[in-house]
Amino acid sequence: MMLSIFNACTFNTCNDRSRNNNICWVHEWAGLTECNTTTRQKTDVKWKQFRISSDEPGRCPVYNVTSGSINPLQWGQFTRLCIKWARENPTKYVMWYPNFSFTESRFMNTFWEISCHFLPAFLYDVLLRAQGRKAIMMKLARRFKMAAATGEYFANHEWQFGISELTALHAEANCASDSSAFPHWPAQFNWDTYIGAYMLGIRRFILKDSVESLPNARSKLKR
């Protein structure tokens, strides 16, 4: 049986370059890959292995499922799409007008972090303590900082993965009679539609905010 290695490249692009003094370069590729695409590619790999009747000794194909070389998304584009859908489908809990941006300066990142995250969180905790309630906002702000830090390395480095095996697999799968009913190629993927659905998912499943509150949330945002 032919062996295979399957890599779902969540973050990737080109030229490994260390930029430890920066937060994110907006013109670089994010290289995000939608999870359903990787699942379908795994199915394609098993389908190909099932069709191969003879062993191929010494051969171990590597399938890098990546959008970077096929359907690239820059960090700047990712930012604009997130802002677009956050404003189109706001949550009822919205307090500020949805907006965010990446910076290439660690100094400016620290400035915005303190002024927009930690200072408001500290003041809100003071108010909570004055009301005899538990202070939680600084704790949440620190957790948010830790979560953001996990992606910083990937946002400041780029890799380019070979896709020759993936391209060959795609060509073979396209010959199947039911290939049109089984979208599996990253080039067929629409980032605008995906991020819109992703933001709605955050709203519904993370914030527990039902779609029925959308009209009121939009009215609140316009005020």
86-127: per-residue pLDDT in tens?
999 999 888 778 887 778 788 888 898 898 889 999 999 999
What are the tokens at 195? 């991020």
**Are 31 and 68 a contacting pair, CB within 8 Å?**
yes
Q: Which of 186, 167, 204, 180 lies closest to 89, judged by CA?
A: 204
Over the stretch 146-185, which tens digit does the pLDDT of each residue have?
Answer: 888 887 887 777 777 888 888 888 888 877 766 666 777 7
Identity of residue 125: D
Does pTM surpass 0.75?
no
Query: Distance between CA atoms of 116 and 110, rounded to whole angstroms?
Result: 10
Query: Distance between CA atoms of 156 and 25, rounded to whole angstroms?
Result: 7
What are the tokens at 132? 């005899």
Say which DSSP state 206 is in: I
Identity of residue 26: V
SS3 29: strand
